[in-house]
Amino acid sequence: MLGQNPFAIAEAVTWICKAIVFTEYWRRGDSFRFGFSMREFRKLKKLVDRKNWFGALFLWIVNEIVLRFKFRRVEVYGRNNIPKTGPFILVSNHSSRFDGLMVLRALRRRANYMVSPAELKGYQGVTLPWVGAFPADPKSDLIGFAEDGFRKGDGLVVFPEGTVFYDGVLHPFKLGAAKAALSAQSKGIEVKVIPASIMYEWGKPNVARIIFGEPVDLESYAGRYEAQAPEVARNLTESLYREVAALRSEISGMPNACLESRCKINRSWSLEFEKIVRLEQAA
């Protein structure tokens, strides 16, 4: 039947070629063996950087008020591991709706925040982009947007579990953060990847803690990325998972000898607020 219908033969050949192309895409991850990228094959939506100083100042004030109201004490460890200049990727666990607020307060650097598209609706969809929030929409050019930010010296904040988990378990990481780091490295953009962990003690009083770990060495991964992209991205993701899990273990119990010897507590308004409360109680 195909031999009698040249259009049917052409359609069959077209579908076979499509199957080969997409099979190669999934095998390689970001690139095809045939020399063109998925970004070129399928037009991705371009994301716009909507950060601005006025909106960021407004949200920083709101953020500070919320954290002061909710927590008696906010403790920050290892801020010296955050580079003062240059691009970086921050990878953290995601166990509370307060995680983004904690990172925003502790980071003190311009950054783009990858968030679920569901979180950017209504009022949040208007205001959160002011501090760098953008949707993790697979139909958008996420890698390109991140690299544009890196070239400006901005950071990228990713919660690679993909959503908030309230069960206290560190869930498997998605590959996005690793792919962004390795893609940038392959294009000559030096990016530091910083693991972090956030935890909370709910009770009287509420206490929030965040710790930044030392940058992860990308040298061994970057050298193999071109030839083994999917495997290397998975390996780096697993390494980041272990780093975040280790930080989570360190910060979960206080006092912690490692933290006391290697990290310095950020003595900010939280401890001053605690002193005020003590004075009020004494009175």
Strand 192-201, strand 207-212: pairing: antiparallel
Q: How many CB atoms lie within 10 A of CB 9?
A: 13
Taking all residues of the chain, what is their mean pLDDT, rounded to a whole number?
Answer: 80
pLDDT tens digits for range 74-107: 999 999 999 999 999 999 999 999 999 999 999 9
**Structural domains of the chain, with CATH:** 2-41 (no CATH), 53-282 (3.40.1130.10)
The pair of structure tokens assigned to 162 is 């993909």
Beta strands in 34-176 (DSSP E): 73-77, 88-92, 111-115, 133-135, 155-158
Write out the H or E segment, with its range, that includes residue 192.
strand 192-201
- State if pTM tops 0.85: no
pLDDT tens digits for range 6-26: 445 445 545 554 454 455 444
Using pLDDT thresholds of 50, 70 and 90, give the confidence band for residue 276: very low
Do 249 and 45 meet the contact criterion of CB atoms below 8 Å apart?
A: no
pLDDT of 46: 87
pLDDT tens digits for range 170-182: 999 999 999 999 9
Sheet holding 192-201, edge to edge: 73-77, 207-212, 192-201, 88-92, 155-158, 111-115, 133-135
Using pLDDT thresholds of 50, 70 and 90, give the confidence band for residue 135: very high
Do 55 and 131 meet the contact criterion of CB atoms below 8 Å apart?
A: yes
Which amino acid is it at 117?
Answer: P
Q: Which of 30, 100, 12 is nearest to 62 (CA)?
A: 100
DSSP-derived letter for residue 29 is: S
DSSP-derived letter for residue 191 is: -
SS3 call for 45 = strand
pLDDT tens digits for range 195-213: 999 999 988 889 999 999 9
Give me the half-sphere count of Cα atoms (radius 13 Å) on the Cβ side of residue 271: 7
